[in-house]
Amino acid sequence: MKHLPLMMKLIGLVALPLVTTGCWSSVEINQRAVIIAAALDKAETDGKIALSIQVANPNEVEKGGDHSVLLYSKIGYTIFEAGRYLQEQVSRKPFWGQTQLIIVGEERARDGICELLDFNDRDFEPNRRAFLLVARGTTGRQALQAGYGFGAIPATTLLGLVQRARDSGRVPITNLNEMLNALDAPGRSVTAPYLEFDPPSPARPEMVDQNQRVLLKGVAVFQHDKLVGYLLETESRGLSWAINKVRNTVVVVPGIDNPTDKIALRVVKAQAKIEPSIKESHPSFTIKVTVQAHVTEVMAHTLDVTKMQVLDTLNSYLATAIRNEISSAVTRAKALHADIFGFGTLFQSAYQTEWKKIAKNWDNVEFPKADVQIEVKSQIVHSGFLLKPRMQYH
Amino acid sequence: MLMKERISRQQMMWLYANGLLGASLLILPQVLAASAKQDGWITSLICAIGGLLLVLLYITLALRFPGQTIVEYITRVLGRPIGLLALAFYLGYIAWLVMVMQREIVDFFSINYPETPIEFTAFCFALITMYIILGGLEAIARVNDLLFPIIVTGVLVLTLLAIPEYMYSYLKPLLPESIMPILGAIPTHISFPYGNAVVFLMIFPFIRNNKDLPYAAVSGSMMGSAVITMIVLFSTLTLGAATVARVVYPPHFAARTITILSFLAGLDGLVDVIWITSNVLRIAVFQYALVLAVSQLLGLSSYRYLVIPLVALMSVGSLNVYRSMGEQIEFNLTWTPLLSIVPYLLVPLLVLVVAMVRKVPRERKPPE
C-alpha cells in the first residue's frame, strides 16, 4: 500500500469506522420483546394455530409489579405468520432467541407436534435449547397465565419446575434437541413433561384464578409425534429408570419386621442399560438397572443397619420397588403402542435384517408383544448418622 | 513475471491446512451424513488418505518444475493448444471455486440477517479480499500465521467444551449396512476440499526452500484433515446423523443447540467467527492464485493490475453462480465430484506424465 498517496490513506482510515458501527439488520435491545415462553394451541378456526407469547417487560420485572410479563395471542395458519402479524399488537420486535419453553395445548398435541417444530429448526432465531411441555386438560395459553411462584415471571417458574424435576426424579426431562433427534430414530416414540392445574380447572375458564398453580405431574406420551396418553408419577419414574434419567430420587420401602413401617431411601446413583436380543424369533429386551442408595429416614423402631441381613432385605425391597415401577411403565407404553424406551432403535442397530422384517408392524404388533425382562441390582451404600435403633424399654 | 515473494515452510504448511478448511468447517458434515450417516467420520478419515495421495501428486509436479507456476510450464509440456485447453479447465475450476466460496459467505449472512441485501454483504467481502490480495502472498501468509492458530484453537475449545454434551449412542450402529454408504460420500469429499487444493500448484513455487515443500504440504494436509474429522464428530455427537443430514450448517446448528456447563449457551458465534475467518483467508489464497494465473497468462508485469477487476468480477459472479442453496447442494452432491476430477486430478496427472515421458527440461529456456 506504499504507492497510495497520504490523502487516500486518510480517507480510508476515516471510512473504516463507518463499516464497524454495526449490522444492517440490527435491532437495539430496547426495541426487542424477548419471548420467554410460547404457547401453541388449536384455534377455533379449522387448521389454524393460536400462538401466545409471554414477553418480559424489563421496566416492571425489577419492581415485581403485576405487569412484569405481557401475554399476546394471535391466530394464524403457521407460527411465523401468527408471529409476524402479532407485530400489530406488540410495540417491540418479538425475539425468539431466548425462548425457554414451548407449551403445547392438549388438543393441538393430539394432532402431532413435528410440524409445529419446523419453524424452530428452520429459522435463525429460535433454537433447540428450549423445553417442550404439554398442557394437560387445558390450553398452553392458560398454563402461561398461572404458575406464579418465585420471581415475577411465570415462565421462569415453569422453567424452574422443569429444571428441578431431576431432584424428585419422577419426571424424565428431555429438551427439544433430544426429542427431535429421537423422533428421527426408527420406531421411536417420545415423551414430554406435562403440566396440570392444581386444583383442576373447568375445561376452558375465561380467566385463570391467580391462586391456581400449575404443577409438573408426569410425562405425556406421543406415538411418534402425536399425543396418545400420559404416564403418572410412578409409571413416569419407571420410564426414568429405564432411559437413564434418574439423578436423585426417593423410594419408600416397607419396614422389615413390620410392613406398615416405612423406610425412605435416597437414590444417589442410577444407571440403566437396555440389551436387545431375539427369543423365539421375536424381539426381546433386558433392562438392566444398577442403583446406589442411602438410608435417609426410618419410620420404624427396629431397623439395625449394622446387620448385613437387614441391608440385603432392604436391597431386595428397593429392587422390587424399582422393578415394579419399570414394569408398570412398560405395560402402559405397550398399551399406548408407543415405544418410548427406544427399544426399536436398539433392536435396529443390533439386528439389521430382522428389523427390516418387523419395522412396519413395530408399533401395533411387535412392540406390544415384545418380551421385556427387568433386572435391578441395588446397593445401599450409606445409612446416615445413625446405626442402631432406639433402645426398647417395653 | 518476476516472483520475488517467498514464504517459509511453516507458513506454507498453515496455508495448505487452511486451504482445506473454510466452508468445509460448516457444510461438510452434512455432505458426509447425507450418505454415510453416523459413519461420516470414517469417510473423513479415508478421504484424508486420498487427500495425502493428491498432495503427493501436486508436490511431485511442483518439484518437477521448481519455482514455476503451472501456468508457466503447462504449455511447454502439453504444447500450446492442449496446454491452453487444460489451463482453461484449471482456471475455470478456480474461478468457480472462488465464486462458490464467496457465495457461501453471502448465503450464510442472508440466512442470519434476512433483511440485509446480499449485494451489500458481497461488496464488503470483496473489499476485504481486494485489500488482502493487494498485500501480496507474503502478507496473506503472515495474516494466516496470526489467524490460523486461532481457528484451530477455536475448533479445539468448542469440541472439548462440548464433551459433556456428547451422546455417544449417536455414533451407533457402526457400519450398519457394511461399507457401501461410507464409500458413497468419498468422491464428493475428495473433490471438496482435497481436490480444491490443486490451486496450490500456483502457490507452491513461492516456498523459500524447495526441500521443505513435501514436509510442509503433507503435514498441512494432515492438520486440515484432523480439524475436519473433529468438526464432523462434533456435529454428529451433538445432533445425531439424521439431523446432521438435514441441516445446512450442522456445526453452527449444533453450537446453538448445546448448553455447556449449564450456562454457556449459544456458541454459534464462535463457530461463525472460526469459519468466516478461515473462509476469508481461503478465498484470499484462491483469488490470489487466480489473479496471478491470469496475469501470467496475459504476460503482465505485475498481478496488481488485475486485482480490482477480477475480484469485482468474481464477486458479481458469486451472486449469480447458482439460484438457491438447494440447487447448489444438489449440484455439489451429483455433478461436482464428477466434473471436478478433470481439473484436480486429470490435468495435473497428464502434465506430470507427459513431462516425464517427453523429458521436458526442468528450467525454462533462457530468453534468446
Query: Nearest CA of chain A to the CA of B119: how many Å?
Result: 12
- Which pLDDT score, from 0 to 100, does residue A207 have? 56
Place of cell 464467496: B102
- Which pLDDT score, from 0 to 100, does residue A356 have? 87
What is the mean predicted confidence (pLDDT) over B277-290? 93
What type of residue sits at position B361? Answer: P
Distances (CA, A) of A73 to A60, A86, B23: 20, 7, 41
DSSP code at position A87: T
From chain A, the residues in CB contact with B135 under 8 A are 1
- Asked if A129 lies within 8 A of B111 by C-beta distance, the reply is no
- Asked if A128 lies within 8 A of B173 by C-beta distance, the reply is no
Interface of B with A in 214-243 (CB under 8 A): 238-240, 242-243
Structure confidence by residue, pLDDT tens digits, A131-150: 999 988 888 888 888 756 66
Kindly report the pTM of this predicted structure: 0.87
Q: Is A202's pLDDT higher than 70?
A: no
Q: In whole angstroms, what is the distance from residue B305 CA to residue B318 CA?
A: 21
More confident residue, A201 or B326: B326
Sign of CA dihedral A288, A293, A295, A299: negative
- Asked if B266 lies within 8 A of A121 by C-beta distance, the reply is no
What type of residue sits at position A342? Answer: G
Read off the pLDDT band of B46 (50, 70, 90).
very high
From chain B, the residues in CB contact with A184 under 8 A are 240, 242-243
Q: In whole angstroms, what is the distance from residue A84 CA to residue A87 CA?
A: 6
The shortest CB-CB distance from A177 to any of B111, B177, B257 is to: B257
Q: Which residue in B66, B64, B84 sits closest to B74, CA to CA?
A: B84
DSSP code at position A303: -
- Asked if A129 lies within 8 A of B257 by C-beta distance, the reply is yes
Q: Is A205's pLDDT higher than 60?
A: no
Sign of CA dihedral A334, A356, A190, A244: positive
Query: Nearest CA of chain B to the CA of A181: how many Å?
Result: 6
Q: In whole angstroms, what is the distance from residue B105 CA to residue B124 CA?
A: 11
From chain B, the residues in CB contact with A97 under 8 A are 266
Q: Is A1's pLDDT higher than 70?
A: no
Q: How confident is the prediction for chain B on average, in pLDDT?
A: 88
Q: Is B368's pLDDT higher than 50?
A: no
What is the mean predicted confidence (pLDDT) over B148-177? 87
User: Least CA distance to A124: which residue of chain B?
Assistant: B112
What is the mean predicted confidence (pLDDT) over A317-346? 91
- Which pLDDT score, from 0 to 100, does residue A299 have? 84
Query: Nearest CA of chain A to the CA of B278: how many Å?
Result: 20
Could you tell me if B305 lies within 8 Å of chain A, comparing CB atoms? no
Q: Which residue in B5, B3, B16, B6 sits closest to B215, CA to CA?
A: B16
- Tell me what percent of the residues of chain B surpass a pLDDT of 90: 46
Query: Nearest CA of chain A to the CA of B241: how many Å?
Result: 9
Q: In whole angstroms, what is the distance from residue A210 CA to residue A66 CA?
A: 11
Helix B40-64 / helix B213-239 crossing angle, nearest 10 deg: 160
Q: Which residue in B49, B52, B58, B41 sits closest to B185, CA to CA?
A: B41
Could you tell me if A228 lies within 8 Å of chain B, comparing CB atoms? no
Other beta carbons within 10 angstroms of residue A16's beta carbon come to 9
In which region does residue B197 sit, left (phi positive, over 0), alpha (psi from -120 to 50) or beta (all else)?
alpha
DSSP code at position B196: G
- Which pLDDT score, from 0 to 100, does residue A20 have? 65
Could you tell me if B113 lies within 8 Å of chain A, comparing CB atoms? yes
- Which pLDDT score, from 0 to 100, does residue A298 have? 86
Q: In whole angstroms, what is the distance from residue B80 CA to residue B91 CA?
A: 16
Structure confidence by residue, pLDDT tens digits, A95-133: 998 888 999 998 899 998 988 899 988 888 888 888 999
The rounded Cα A360 to chain-centroid distance in angstroms is 28
What type of residue sits at position A106? Answer: E
One-letter-per-residue 3-state SS of B248-289: CCHHHHHHHHCEECCCEECCHHHHHHHHHHHHHHHHHHHHHH
Q: Is B40's pLDDT higher than 70?
A: yes
Structure confidence by residue, pLDDT tens digits, B114-129: 888 888 889 989 998 9
Could you tell me if A15 lies within 8 Å of chain B, comparing CB atoms? no
Other beta carbons within 10 angstroms of residue A21's beta carbon come to 7
- Which pLDDT score, from 0 to 100, does residue A150 have? 64
From chain B, the residues in CB contact with A24 under 8 A are 113, 115-117, 120
Structure confidence by residue, pLDDT tens digits, B72-114: 888 888 888 999 999 999 999 999 999 999 998 898 888 888 8
What is the mean predicted confidence (pLDDT) over A34-53? 89
Burial B90-114 (b: 16+ CB within 10 A, else e): bbebbbbbbbbbbbbbbbbbbebbe
Could you tell me if A250 lies within 8 Å of chain B, comparing CB atoms? no
Query: Nearest CA of chain A to the CA of B130: how many Å?
Result: 12
The shortest CB-CB distance from B112 to any of A1, A124, A349 is to: A124
- Asked if A97 lies within 8 A of B266 by C-beta distance, the reply is yes
From chain B, the residues in CB contact with A177 under 8 A are 238-239, 257-258
Could you tell me if A24 lies within 8 Å of chain B, comparing CB atoms? yes
Structure confidence by residue, pLDDT tens digits, A265-278: 999 989 999 999 98
Partnered with residue A277 across adjacent β-strands are A284
Q: In whole angstroms, what is the distance from residue B274 CA to residue B280 CA?
A: 10
Q: Is A154's pLDDT higher than 80?
A: no
- Asked if B242 lies within 8 A of A181 by C-beta distance, the reply is yes
- Asked if A97 lies within 8 A of B113 by C-beta distance, the reply is no
Question: Can the peptide bond before residue B173 be classed as cis, meaning omega within 30 degrees of 0?
Answer: yes
Burial B133-144 (b: 16+ CB within 10 A, else e): bbbbbebbbebb
Q: In whole angstroms, what is the distance from residue A114 CA to residue A183 CA?
A: 8
Q: In whole angstroms, what is the distance from residue B26 CA to residue B235 CA?
A: 10
What is the mean predicted confidence (pLDDT) over B260-279? 85
Yes or no: say if A176 and A130 are a contact pair by the CB < 8 Å rule. yes
What is the mean predicted confidence (pLDDT) over B121-146? 91
- Which pLDDT score, from 0 to 100, does residue B3 have? 63
Structure confidence by residue, pLDDT tens digits, A302-313: 777 788 888 899
Yes or no: say if B302 and B295 are a contact pair by the CB < 8 Å rule. yes
Residues with Cβ within 8 Å of residue B169, at least 6 apart in sequence: none
Q: In whole angstroms, what is the distance from residue A351 CA to residue A205 CA?
A: 51
Q: In whole angstroms, what is the distance from residue B311 CA to residue B322 CA?
A: 18
User: Least CA distance to A346: which residue of chain B?
Assistant: B173
Could you tell me if A349 lies within 8 Å of chain B, comparing CB atoms? yes
ipTM above 0.85, yes or no: no
- Copy the grid coordinates of residue B351: 502434465
Q: In whole angstroms, what is the distance from residue A37 CA to residue A103 CA?
A: 8
- Tell me what percent of the residues of chain B surpass a pLDDT of 70: 98
- Asked if B134 lies within 8 A of A19 by C-beta distance, the reply is no
DSSP code at position A362: I
Tally: H helices and E strands in chain B: 18, 2
Read off the pLDDT band of A3 (50, 70, 90).
low
**Which of A128, A131, A351 would you mutate first to test chain B, the one with the most B CBs within 10 A?**
A128
Looking only at the bridges linking them, the beta strands covering A49-56 and A69-76 are: antiparallel
- Which pLDDT score, from 0 to 100, does residue A383 have? 83
- Tell me what percent of the residues of chain A surpass a pLDDT of 90: 26
Helix B304-320 / helix B118-134 crossing angle, nearest 10 deg: 160
Query: Nearest CA of chain B to the CA of A189: how many Å?
Result: 15
Q: In whole angstroms, what is the distance from residue A39 CA to residue A105 CA?
A: 7
Could you tell me if A93 lies within 8 Å of chain B, comparing CB atoms? no
The shortest CB-CB distance from B239 to any of A1, A181, A348 is to: A181
Q: In whole angstroms, what is the distance from residue A389 CA to residue B142 CA?
A: 76
Structure confidence by residue, pLDDT tens digits, A335-388: 999 999 989 988 888 888 888 888 888 888 888 888 999 999 999 888 888 877
Q: How confident is the prediction for chain A on average, in pLDDT?
A: 84
Distances (CA, A) of A276 to A271, A372, B318: 17, 9, 52
What is the mean predicted confidence (pLDDT) over A232-259? 87
